[in-house]
Amino acid sequence: MAAVAASATAPTFTVGITHRGTSLPRSSPLGGLRFNSQNPLKNFCGLKASSSVTLESQLSFSGKETVSALRASFASKAQTQDRTIHYNLQPQASFRVAVLGAAGGIGQPLALLIKMSPLVSDLHLYDIANVKGVAADISHCNTPSQVRDFTGAAELANCLKGVDVVVIPAGVPRKPGMTRDDLFNINAGIVRDLVSAVADNCPGAFIHIISNPVNSTVPIAAEVLKQKGVYDPKKLFGVTTLDVVRANTFVAQRKNLKLIDVDVPVVGGHAGITILPLLSKTKPSASFTDEEIEELTVRIQNAGTEVVEAKAGAGSATLSMAYAAARFVESSLRALDGDGDVYECSFVQSDLTELPFFASRVKLGRKGVEALIPSDLIGLIEYEQKALEALKPELKASIEKGIAFAQKQTVAA
Ligand SMILES: NC(=O)c1ccc[n+]([C@@H]2O[C@H](COP(=O)([O-])OP(=O)(O)OC[C@H]3O[C@@H](n4cnc5c(N)ncnc54)[C@H](O)[C@@H]3O)[C@@H](O)[C@H]2O)c1
């Protein structure tokens, strides 16, 4: 991404955000952002996956021939990070993003975070509830993208036309005592109808599914797209970024590591035991006792329930989810913009295991998933290997449930 020098007379200042008395590192969320007094948001670097900027983690899943290219790319990034950078007033790219379910607990903060991206020219907000107020509010932020609101099914097609990335957090969240699977009956139909509209109006878009249970809603989306004849498995993603974000945070706390450096791949699915953090693959490498592995794994798997119970009936994770989803949007936009250095974990169609869908680290490119990264699954410790085998029956059942739902609907229709 080219940095363009701003007017020499325009004063710049650094926003000093402190956390427990320490300045946040430059690449952490909001920490180190340099603002220009005339240009409010030039460098939105907070949502970059740490795995995409550390050479160490690249080396773990790259062939020898790519290492020197990665080294060069890493060196230039490091140099860039060490300089004060001025960005111009223009958006750095002009992608269109739609959020479906934008009036909700996740949708609102997610829309705000996407509004901060310099890669977005148009932000379309859709909900069956009135989304005018959210759009009016967010549109006053003086960042580049234009915000438009679309309320109700009659406006859905217009919302989706010409869109590059569609993010779907529409649906009902969990209440205490519910599992993600309990949401199936309501959210399955919502995802089916929204993805059907995506197929009709922007079939080439990246589709990010947040609505739970992701282990079933992604297969439903795939079936709907197949029925419409527009399924591209490289462009359909279940958003599991929150599992990675939580794993990174909990491991950094436990091991007293610098949070921004920590990268823990999370594979499998996105519910209970199907969420499998691969702690043995933590970068920078860290050693864990058996008890720590058990405790951290269970905490990461149940972190959603931690939030559901703390909110005591008022919903599930919304703010951290919005942060995680915005990071995945930003990664997708960077990939669409030609950055050849974008890796994220996501629940996608996969042949890494015998299951048709599986969350793993993937390389993102202009056309979606460029490669599934198998190396994280090689050389697992015994605990992880057993957990991987144990999660397969549950994940398989959730995938089949989604497929059966979508196929039954076609027969009924
Ligand atoms: N993938 C993850 O990691 C993750 C994490 C947390 C929550 N979730 C899921 O995200 C979903 C949304 O959670 P939330 O807390 O924002 O819920 P919420 O109830 O606050 O918001 C949901 C929004 O969706 C809208 N909606 C419902 N049906 C719709 C339709 N047919 N078209 C458009 N919009 C529609 C509602 O009007 C509401 O504004 C839930 O399914 C939840 O389980 C996923």
Question: Stretch 326-353: mean pLDDT, rounded?
Answer: 98
Q: Is the CB of 282 under 6 A from ligand 1?
A: no
pLDDT digits (tens, 9 = 90+) for 375-399: 999 999 999 999 999 999 999 999 9
Q: How is residue 366 annotated by DSSP?
A: T
Q: d(Cα 61, Cα 347) in Å, to the nearest integer?
A: 18
Angle 267-270-322 from CA coordinates, rounded to 5°: 105
Q: Is the CB of 105 under 6 A from ligand 1?
A: yes
Please state whether the predicted TM-score (pTM) of the whole model is above 0.85. Answer: no
Catalytic residue numbers read 270
pLDDT digits (tens, 9 = 90+) for 270-306: 999 999 999 999 999 999 999 999 999 999 999 999 9
Confidence bin at 35 (pLDDT 50/70/90): very low
Question: Stretch 36-64: mean pLDDT, rounded?
Answer: 38
Cis, peptide link before residue 284, omega less than 30° from 0: yes
Share of the chain above pLDDT 70, in %: 77
Ligand 1 closest atom vs CA 106? 16
Quick check: 76 pLDDT over 50?
no
Quick check: 71 pLDDT over 90?
no
95 SS3 class: strand
Confidence bin at 179 (pLDDT 50/70/90): confident
Give me the DSSP letters along 173-223. Answer: PP-TT--GGGGHHHHHHHHHHHHHHHHHH-TTSEEEE-SS-HHHHHHHHHH
- For the domain with range 92-413, which CATH number is right: 3.90.110.10, 3.40.1050.10, 3.40.50.720, 3.30.465.10? 3.90.110.10
> How deeply is 163 buried, as exposed, middle or buried, from its count of CB atoms within 10 A (0-12, 13-18, 19+)?
buried
Q: Is the CB of 402 under 6 A from ligand 1?
A: no
Contact indicator for 413, 406 with CB cutoff of 8 Å:
no
What does the domain layout of the chain look like in residue ranges? Answer: 2-47+49-81, 92-413
Q: How far is CA 359 from CA 126, 267, 329, 396, in A?
A: 27, 5, 17, 13
Ligand 1 closest atom vs CA 126? 33
Q: How far is CA 328 from CA 110, 245, 366, in A?
A: 11, 11, 14
Contacting residues for 82 by C-beta, under 8 A, at least 6 apart: none
Angle 211-215-217 from CA coordinates, rounded to 5°: 45
Measured in Å, residue 356 CA sits from the centre of ligand 1 at 25
Measured in Å, residue 28 CA sits from the centre of ligand 1 at 27
pLDDT digits (tens, 9 = 90+) for 204-219: 999 999 999 999 999 9
Contact indicator for 387, 276 with CB cutoff of 8 Å:
yes
- Please report the pLDDT score of residue 329 as a whole number: 98
Q: Is the CB of 359 under 6 A from ligand 1?
A: no
- Please report the pLDDT score of residue 346 as a whole number: 98
* DSSP β-bridge partners for residue 365: 368
- Please report the pLDDT score of residue 208 as a whole number: 99
